[in-house]
């Protein structure tokens, strides 16, 4: 970043963090050569939320960073109030940076009388005052269409590829957990110049799936299972079980969002053939839930660069998820 670009950003930019992931927000701010602006969040005695931005934002580019992780409802409400506060204080542009968009899985009406909550949250963000959204690796690409305002759907795939290239991949294959994620897995496999396979998955419940088989050659190989998120690890356990039955040599699990809820950590600890769990810091992972074979990669430079390019009016196309290779940037 040039000195002129840094000075311009520092003059125009105000970065605030919600309470969900202050460490990632600090990393993003450091990438941009800025400090985090102060803010205050508290509960009244009746449990109503109080939010106040601690710096003037009038005429400024405001970035509010909030991952929608546990406690999701609290963090959604806090983000909405921060957006509304920035709009009411005459911010020039309000960028909502949401590294993990929790409700992305609620992307269709597959049962009667339920909400498509991913779309609802997208509409609430716009109503609250966001002018622009940045998020990463939504559960499915069509969720991007829920947003009625400019939205940068970023990817961490390059971070995974750069990290995995440090290993011996001569006998490795990338495995998508299901056909729906095969395209993303195939892109990583091309980057790494290795083969790709996919599971034939059927979801039975929120934490239970059935893997009917594997499409592709995996026998005797190092299987790199590549998914968007690991929540309870129910899907991973079913997939790893079928991979081992098909005689893979070893397993690496890689996911953008390491939610690791419920029994996930205990389940993953029980896989003897698991070489490594690779995830990113879109969701905070406490030290007590970090296994010895877990690697957490930072996405702060990706979000920092996307913010920088937006404010300076530069293209962000190369940072997008699902961006076709060898195609002109937007």
Whether 183 is catalytic is: no
**b/e map 137-168, b = 16+ CB within 10 Å:** bbbeeebbebbeeebbbbbbbebbeeebeeee
Q: DSSP alpha helices (H): ranges in 109-200?
A: 117-128, 157-164, 182-192
Q: Count Cβ atoms below 10 Å from residue 179 Cβ, excluding itself.
A: 12
Joined tokens for residue 242: 């079928």
Adjacency order of strands within the sheet including 294-297: 208-215, 195-205, 172-176, 222-230, 250-258, 274-280, 294-297
Options 40, 60, 193, 201, the catalytic residue? 201
Q: List residues bridging with 164 in a β-sheet.
A: none
Please answer whether residues 115 and 106 qualify as being in contact, where contact means their C-beta atoms are separated by less than 8 angstroms: yes
User: Residue 294: in which H helix or E strand, if any?
Assistant: strand 294-297
Q: List residues bridging with 197 in a β-sheet.
A: 175
Which residues are identified as catalytic? Answer: 201
């Amino acid at each position: 970043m040039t000195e002129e670009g840094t000075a311009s950003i520092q003059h125009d930019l105000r970065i605030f963090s919600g309470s969900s992931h202050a460490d990632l927000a600090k990393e993003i701010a450091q990438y941009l050569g800025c400090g985090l602006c102060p803010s205050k969040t508290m509960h009244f005695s009746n449990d109503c939320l109080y939010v106040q931005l601690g710096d003037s934002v009038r005429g400024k580019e405001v970035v509010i960073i909030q991952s929608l992780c546990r406690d999701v409802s609290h963090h959604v409400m806090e983000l909405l109030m921060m957006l509304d506060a920035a709009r009411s204080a005459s911010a020039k542009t309000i960028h909502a940076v949401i590294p993990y968009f929790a409700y992305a899985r609620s992307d269709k009406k597959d049962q009667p009388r339920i909400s498509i909550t991913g779309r609802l949250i997208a509409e609430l963000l716009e109503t609250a005052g966001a002018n622009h959204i940045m998020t990463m690796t939504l559960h499915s690409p069509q969720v991007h269409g829920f947003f009625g305002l400019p939205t940068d759907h970023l990817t961490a795939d390059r971070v995974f590829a750069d990290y995995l290239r440090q290993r011996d991949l001569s006998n490795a294959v990338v495995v998508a957990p299901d056909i729906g994620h095969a395209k993303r897995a195939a892109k990583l496999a091309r980057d790494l110049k290795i083969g790709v396979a996919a599971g034939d998955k059927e979801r039975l419940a929120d934490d239970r799936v059935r893997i009917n088989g594997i499409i592709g050659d995996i026998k005797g190989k190092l299987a790199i299972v590549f998914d968007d998120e690991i929540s309870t690890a129910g899907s991973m356990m079913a997939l790893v079980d079928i991979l081992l039955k098909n005689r893979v040599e070893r397993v690496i699990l890689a996911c953008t969002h390491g939610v690791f809820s419920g029994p996930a950590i205990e389940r993953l600890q029980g896989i003897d053939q698991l070489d490594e769990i690779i995830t990113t810091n879109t969701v905070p992972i406490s030290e007590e839930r970090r296994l010895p074979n877990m690697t957490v990669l930072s996405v702060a430079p990706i979000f920092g660069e996307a913010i920088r390019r937006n404010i300076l009016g530069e293209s962000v196309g190369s940072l997008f998820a699902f961006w076709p290779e060898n195609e002109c940037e937007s």
